[in-house]
């Protein structure tokens, strides 16, 4: 049953499942071997549902960790100024092959900042996986920025569900849906 605030389903539960299966297989292939120490870093909060599904499908040894970042500024477009609200506190970071897990890339500012931040902290390697990507929203200086592993490329629509929110709602929907415009027009 579709939620009454959802206009249409963009990516169904079944489609998400096959996307996550594919991504896990790609990650398994690239992180196989005793010389790898894969650490999935979930960027709270939106990535938590994707992270939970992805880690279950990865078969190589994996550890998990969490970070929280927020961009500050006004309006709906990310400012590029990123605050780290929860940082990694690992002492073994020099031995970690970090894979940052994101639900969505929009301007690219958050991921671009986090990659640099984790490399500066001394991680052995830092790669990125995103469930959704909106390349049309990329900041001008990040036009060529791409994640290492891609779920689905989507248009510039208001996507919610499977971790993604609007005003903290809809994160628990088991699919990615497009929010009805009247929902965000009446609440803004
Ligand atoms: C979203 C998303 C990314 C970021 C992407 O998080 O999870 O972290 O925005 O945007 P960018 O590419 O323009 O930087 P959000 O700040 O909405 O927080 P949330 O995950 O807690 O909902």
pLDDT for the residue numbered 15:
98
Instruction: Please report the DSSP string for 59-105 in residue order.
Output: -S-EEEEEEEEEEESSSSS--SEEEEEE----S-GGG-EEEEEEEEE
Question: What is the rounded CA–CA span in Å between residue 104 and residue 165?
Answer: 11
What confidence category does residue 78 fall into, taking pLDDT thresholds of 50, 70 and 90? low
Atom number in ligand 1 closest to CA 108: 12
What rounded mean pLDDT belongs to the chain? 94
- Distance from residue 99's CA to the centre of ligand 1 (Å): 16
Q: Rounded to 5 degrees, what are φ and ψ at 136?
A: -70, -15
Task: Count Cβ atoms below 10 Å from residue 121 Cβ, excluding itself.
Answer: 15
Contacting residues for 54 by C-beta, under 8 A, at least 6 apart: 20, 23, 24, 27, 40, 101, 129
- Distance from residue 90's CA to the centre of ligand 1 (Å): 23
Atom number in ligand 1 closest to CA 43: 8
**Minimum mean pLDDT range among 77-81, 138-142, 177-181:** 77-81
Q: Which neighbouring-strand residues pair with 101?
A: 42, 129
Question: What is the rounded CA–CA span in Å between residue 64 and residue 21?
Answer: 18
Supply the pTM of this predicted model: 0.95
Phi-psi region of 55 (alpha: psi -120 to 50; beta: other; left: phi over 0): alpha
Residues within 6 Å of ligand 1 by CB: 43-46, 70-71, 78, 102-110, 165
Atom number in ligand 1 closest to CA 107: 13
Q: What is the tens place of the pLDDT at every residue in 25-67?
A: 999 999 999 999 999 999 999 999 999 999 999 999 999 999 9
Mean pLDDT to the nearest integer, 127-146: 97
Which residues are tagged catalytic?
106
Q: Of all residues in the chain, what percent are helix, strand and coil, respectively (each to 5)?
A: 30, 35, 35
Tokens encoding 139: 């900041």
Task: Count Cβ atoms below 10 Å from residue 147 Cβ, excluding itself.
Answer: 18
């Amino acid at each position: 049953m579709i939620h009454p605030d959802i206009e249409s389903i963009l990516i169904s539960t079944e489609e998400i499942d096959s996307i996550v299966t594919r991504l896990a297989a790609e990650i398994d292939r690239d992180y196989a071997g005793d010389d790898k120490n894969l650490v999935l870093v979930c960027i709270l909060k939106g990535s938590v549902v994707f992270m939970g599904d992805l880690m279950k499908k990865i078969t190589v040894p994996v550890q998990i960790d969490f970070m929280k970042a927020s961009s500050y500024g006004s309006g709906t477009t990310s400012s590029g100024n990123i605050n780290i609200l929860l940082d990694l506190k690992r002492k073994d970071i020099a031995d970690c092959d970090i894979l940052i897990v994101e639900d969505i890339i929009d301007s690219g500012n958050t991921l671009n900042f986090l990659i640099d931040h984790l490399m500066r902290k001394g991680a052995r390697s830092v790669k990125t996986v995103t469930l959704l990507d909106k390349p049309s929203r990329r900041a001008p200086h990040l036009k060529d920025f791409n994640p290492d592993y891609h779920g689905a490329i989507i248009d510039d629509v208001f996507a919610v569900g499977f971790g993604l929110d609007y005003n903290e709602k809809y994160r628990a929907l088991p699919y990615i849906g497009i929010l009805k415009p009247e929902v965000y027009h009446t609440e803004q």
